[in-house]
Amino acid sequence: MTLLHPDARLIDAATDAELGGVPLREAVHAAVAGFAELTPGVVFLRTPTTVEAIVRYIGAFEAGRPLALLDPGLPAEILADFIERFEPAAVCGPLPEDAHKGYTRRGEDLWERDTPSSTAPHPDLATLLATSGSTGSPKLVRLSREAILANTTSIIEALGITGADVAVSSLPFYYSFGMSVLNTHLAAGATVVVESEGLVARSFWPAITKHGVTSLALVPSQYEMLRRLRFDPQRYPSLRTLTQAGGRLRAELVQDFHDRMAAVDGRLFVMYGQTEAAPRLTTLPAGRLAEKPGSVGPAVPGGTITVRLEDGAETTAPGVVGEVLYRGPNVMMGYAETAADLARGDDNGGLLETGDLGHLDEDGYLFIDGRLKRFGKVFGVRLNLDDIEQLAAATGPGAVAAISGDDKIIIFVESDGDLAPRVTRLADQLKLHWTGFEMRGIPALPLLSNGKVDYRALESAR
């Protein structure tokens, strides 16, 4: 299998220029030839939302070059640190001055390492992704070619993607969900509209109408934004599929957007994924959303899910809460923190310990109950912060995020109203004194480049 179907097509929304068929294949073949001439080793691809970046990415993948998809806005000091630790053979994109040493410029935005890295990457290694976007953990996830292709095939099947579909770049390509949307549509022979400005840009929504976009992939913060924008699918006749991953979407919004799409014979797919699984693990069929509220669906085709109890035993019995374990061909080879790790083989053997708490129902549908390590204590009572967020969200409007303080749980709310009554309601639900909780109004929750809440920024502000 290849990531580029002969019928795949790219459209540059800014210029309306199309690239598909033979011209697209020729552009990719040229990129393949260019990568073949470089020093052996990993290639760092700083990946903006452009047609050129897509061609470069597919070219590197088809050339068999291990590649790291990186945020083009990565701070210079973080990029320099990555280059020092992972010794890439080449860097596509601007290179900070303090990282020039040992590299020679080969083109407008291409830098090649003067001498090969002392460590050769493992032959199965295909793609490297940062675990937390442009900030956070310095680890890279090591994904094999088999993992990328297996998940691409599974999602095409689960969502029923065909050559008639048209996706739009609502997520950055260096983010695993955005990469997956790109992979699945190109591999299915569909069209990808490359729109770099984002949901709130004046150009975004006219592009959906003009190019007949059929599906839109979003993370929870973007659904919050759509609600504020009073999104009405009736205004976009071609748009009939919404997909959601990248964190838990409030139950209220799941029902809201399901209803909006159902009113126009459209669909909402709720999914669960992790970068470590290339990245999607489950998909809730749109037709079963109403009967499975709160579920993220069964495992994608080719994968299986079990729940691990505290004693280490695994079960698929309904209603039993434990750590969610996933097995499948799309699981990562492992993490990398230095160049030496890039030479490692498969450390995981197809098993992903997700770190999430969850349970299955009688049909094998997964429900996520929180994170193993996302806990806080109030008056000696251990509370799951994900549960607190869900309860706090139900007390009133606005997106919420909860962190653990020194002696209380702090909940940030996108609101400028009086939050005292909401604190009381939350405390009453938990049967704890209200002084164990603090709600702070905030204009907007800080987000990482992948759209997820930046909890570190909130912890710094506490």
294-346 tens-digit pLDDT: 999 999 999 999 999 989 999 999 999 999 999 999 999 999 999 999 999 99
Most confident of 94-103, 134-143, 440-449: 440-449
Angle at 410 (CA atoms; ends 404, 414), nearest 5 degrees? 130
Token pair listed for 210: 């003009």
228-281 tens-digit pLDDT: 999 999 999 999 999 999 888 988 999 999 999 999 999 999 999 999 999 999
CA separation for the pair 57, 47 (Å, rounded): 8
pLDDT at 136 over 70: no
Percentage with pLDDT > 70 across the chain: 98
- Among left, alpha and beta (phi > 0; psi -120 to 50; other), residue 312 is left
pLDDT at 2 over 60: yes
Give the DSSP H/E element, type plus range, for residue 334.
strand 334-336
369-404 tens-digit pLDDT: 877 778 787 776 778 898 899 899 999 999 999 998
CA separation for the pair 441, 397 (Å, rounded): 11
Question: What pLDDT shows up at residue 132?
Answer: 55
Classify residue 262 by burial, with Cβ atoms within 10 Å: 0-12, 13-18, 19+: middle
Nearest to 10 by CA among 42, 45, 57: 57
Is-contact 381 432, C-beta < 8 A? yes
Most confident of 97-101, 115-119, 268-272: 268-272
Is-contact 74 136, C-beta < 8 A? no
Q: How much is the CA Rg of the chain, to the nearest whole Å?
A: 22
CA separation for the pair 153, 20 (Å, rounded): 21
Nearest to 357 by CA among 394, 385, 328, 393: 385
Token pair listed for 403: 């962190």
Is-contact 423 400, C-beta < 8 A? no
The better pLDDT of the pair 75, 136 is held by 75
The better pLDDT of the pair 111, 97 is held by 111
Question: What pLDDT shows up at residue 135?
Answer: 36
Q: What is the mean pLDDT of residues 126-141?
A: 73
Nearest to 361 by CA among 298, 423, 424, 451: 298
Question: What pLDDT shows up at residue 380?
Answer: 64
Question: What pLDDT shows up at residue 84?
Answer: 93
Write down the residue that tokens 């996706």 correspond to: 167
Give residue 451's pLDDT band: very low, low, confident or very high (50, 70, 90). Answer: confident
Question: What pLDDT shows up at residue 137?
Answer: 46
CA separation for the pair 390, 386 (Å, rounded): 6
Q: What is the mean pLDDT of the chain?
A: 93
35-79 tens-digit pLDDT: 999 999 999 999 999 999 999 999 999 999 999 999 998 888 889
Question: What pLDDT shows up at residue 383?
Answer: 84
CA separation for the pair 167, 10 (Å, rounded): 10
Question: What pLDDT shows up at residue 373?
Answer: 75
